Structure 1
Amino acid sequence: MWCAIELLPTSCLRMSVIRMLRISVNLLARLAKMNDSRPKVQASRRSGGDGVPEVFCSDEQGVISVPLDECRKLALAALMHEGVRGACELSVFFVDEATISELNSEHMGKIGPTDVLAFPLDTAEYNEAQGPGTPSRGPSRPAFDTDDVPTLLGDVVICPAIAMKQCEDHAGNFADEIALLLVHGILHVLGFDHDLEDEKTEMRAHEVAILMEHHWNGPVPSGFRQEQDE
């Protein structure tokens, strides 16, 4: 049975993942420049803002072509679809097999590469959404003080090489595989899980709903599967 996600709560997510991914000096310079150009958000902010989430995508492997702009748009659409609003950020990293193997070993205690890892923010939770401009939490996260809205939602790390290897007996093609892994990871960041059968059913339903509306713009393709063939 396919289980793409490895779930790891962590704090200081962006810098932690950047360090683990061994990002090059040139990329760090670009990220620093990008950080300087972003709108500054206060660390503590009340709910009810009119902002939308920001998604940052970075290709760290450079071997298999990944449509970063499409991934960013799908990630943002997935967040909005799930009711996430306000000044918050999600990062998506595409890495090689060696990097994701190292992360899998260091943080999950598992040998070898996996297709996707999710790093949800563990230092605060989101408040229930009360309107279209309200920062909101994932479905499994309890309410908290609205004066303490976090900036970072979390990080999703995807390995395109593994996605390429498994796509034919999973999502059907590479584009759909990347889209599925991305949405799957985002849902984990928002609090979804699939340990129990009812949780799995709910999570898969959300995956399909997001992909139908924001990726396929239509019905599910005949070759699409959410589990790999045995």
Structure 2
Amino acid sequence: MSLQLDWRNEQQKMDIPEAWITKLEQLLQMAAEAEGITEGEVSLTFTDDEEIHQLNRDYRGIDRPTDVLSFAMQEDGVDELDIFFEVESEDESDPISGMLGDIIISVETAAAQSKEYGHSLEREIGFLFVHGFLHLIGYDHQDDAAEAEMTAKQEAILQQAGLSR
């Protein structure tokens, strides 16, 4: 298996150009390479503010829309999924063991933020995707040091891909 991006568009407010998907696949490869990850699958969903608001409320207890949500499968997913797939040992294959997780991006919020920050929407979508990916593999920004580390990693990948501010 290699790194795979599975994506879908579940919003009607904006078309998702094929060039964005190509760039996101490139960003996935760059971010994964920087972190030493060679295999896995990331599911990406483009949605609107209404849907991401509901997800943010239901899963995080925050009653407002946000720009990106990440749901990692590797944190606790395999142990919980053993019940459903009856995985009895580490030698048996688990149908989703390669799944890193889900990233959900609100294109409405991304568009507003790109205007606010004065850069392209493609750059904002790329930033949110890399941010979400880093969350999937365990990075967080709960304190200043962790935020600085995550920000540096995001910016390095975006610069490498030609998505500067």
Cα pair 1:58 1:68 within 8 Å, conserved: no
Partner of 1:179: 126
User: Matched residue of 1:117: which SS?
Assistant: strand
- What is the rounded CA distance, in whole Å, between the counterparts of 1:162 and 1:71 in structure 2? 18
In the alignment, structure 1 residue 56 sits paired with structure 2 residue 6: yes
Bigger CA radius of gyration: 1
Q: Which of residues 12, 15, 36 in structure 2 aligns to 1:65? A: 15
Task: Give the count of matched residue pairs.
Answer: 148
In the TM superposition, what whole-angstrom CA distance separates every residue of 1:149-204 from its partner, at most 9, and x where no partner exists? 82210010000111111212336221111110010000000100111111011101
Structure 1 counterpart of 2:13, one-letter code: V
Report the alpha carbon displacement of residue 81 of structure 1 after superposing the two structures with TM: 2.6
Is contact 1:58–1:93 with CA below 8 Å preserved after alignment? yes
Matched, 1:123 2:77: yes
Segments of structure 2 that go 5 or more residues without pairing to the other structure are: 80-88
Q: What is the deviation of 1:54?
A: 1.1
Q: Give the fraction of aligned pairs with identical amino acids, expressed as a percent.
A: 30
- SS at structure 1 position matched to 2:111: helix
Q: Say yes or no: does 1:202 pair with 2:131.
A: no
The structure that is strand-richer by fraction is: 2
Q: Secondary structure at the match of 2:25?
A: helix
TM-score w.r.t. length of structure 2 = 0.80
TM-score (norm 1): 0.59
Corresponding residue for residue 56 of structure 2:
104
What does residue 85 of structure 1 align with?
Answer: 38
Q: Does 1:74 align with 2:27?
A: yes
Tell me the secondary structure at the aligned position of residue 183 of structure 1.
helix
CA apart distance, 1:146: 7.4
Listed one character per residue, the Cα deviations across residues 42-76 of structure 1 (whole Å, up to 9, x for unaligned) are: xxxxxxxxx42111111111321222332233223
Q: Distance in 2 between matches of 1:146 and 1:170?
A: 47
Counterpart residue type for residue 166 of structure 1: Q
Structure 1 unaligned residues grouped into runs of 5+: 1-50, 126-144, 225-230
| RMSD after superposition | 2.2
